[in-house]
Amino acid sequence: MDPITAKVTIDRPREEVFDYLADIANHQEFSDHYLKQWRLTRVDSYGRGAGARFKIDAPLDRYGWGDMTFIEVERPYRIVAAGRAGKFNRNKTWTEWRLEPEGPSTTRVEVTTESEPALPTDKLMEALTRRRGWFRRGLNRSLRRLQSILEEDHDRGARATVGGL
């Protein structure tokens, strides 16, 4: 899937937004409407090496499990996650969060995600299920929820835990 980018401006300092995003357990709170059943891959959920596994709740997706691990965490600018998804976890995925100051206490968050289908059949399934549009809608909604959580402490979901407890 070609890169999909979404942006939002959050009325919070960049360091505060970064600290929230650098804890992968928080990601379930704002993206549980399309990424479900989060499980942490280790007890320490903050920073480089933190990871999670989740169910991608896409229509017509028989192999909806995916994972991501933070591979680069550059405070307070950028977080990069690499992962796998799809049948036998053979499709590579990347997600990058970039944080830019828009003022003394305002931050622009830009998220880009993409996947690399391993086989032509994986690429065909992405096209047939209209996955790109589905992911774009999910990503945009998750950023609106992130904004609501950080600005108003509203619309919170559950945090991910080890083993889903």
Structure tokens given for 16:
């505060």
Does residue 47 fall inside a structural domain?
Answer: yes
Does residue 26 fall inside a structural domain?
Answer: yes
pTM of this structure: 0.89
pLDDT band at residue 115, thresholds of 50, 70 and 90? confident
pLDDT at 130: 67
Does residue 136 fall inside a structural domain?
Answer: yes
Domain with 43 in it: what CATH number? 3.30.530.20
Tell me how far apart the alpha carbons of residues 94 and 107 are, in angstroms, rounded to a whole number: 22
Per the structure, the count of domains in the chain is 1
Count of C-beta atoms within a 10 Å radius of residue 165: 5
How is the chain classified by DSSP, letter by letter? ---EEEEEEESS-HHHHHHHHTBGGGHHHHHTTTEEEEEESSS--BSTT-EEEEEE--TT-SS-EEEEEEEEEETTTEEEEEEEESGGG-EEEEEEEEEEEEETTEEEEEEEEEEE-SSHHHHHHHHHTTHHHHHHHHHHHHHHHHHHHHHHS-S--PPP-BTT-
Does residue 121 fall inside a structural domain?
Answer: yes
Does residue 74 fall inside a structural domain?
Answer: yes
State which residues form the domain around 69: 4-152
pLDDT at 128: 63
pLDDT at 24: 95
Q: Is the pLDDT of residue 120 over 80?
A: yes
Does residue 157 fall inside a structural domain?
Answer: no
Higher pLDDT, 97 or 104: 97
List Cα–Cα distances, 119 to 2, 42, 64, 115, 123, in angstroms.
15, 30, 16, 12, 7
Does residue 120 fall inside a structural domain?
Answer: yes
Higher pLDDT, 26 or 125: 26
Please answer whether residues 32 and 61 qualify as being in contact, where contact means their C-beta atoms are separated by less than 8 angstroms. Answer: no
pLDDT at 165: 53
Judged by average pLDDT, the poorest of 60-64, 85-89, 91-95 is 60-64
pLDDT at 104: 86
% residues pLDDT > 90 (the chain): 61
Does residue 163 fall inside a structural domain?
Answer: no
Residue range 23-82, pLDDT digits in tens? 999 999 999 898 999 999 999 999 999 999 999 887 777 778 999 999 999 999 999 999
Higher pLDDT, 34 or 127: 34
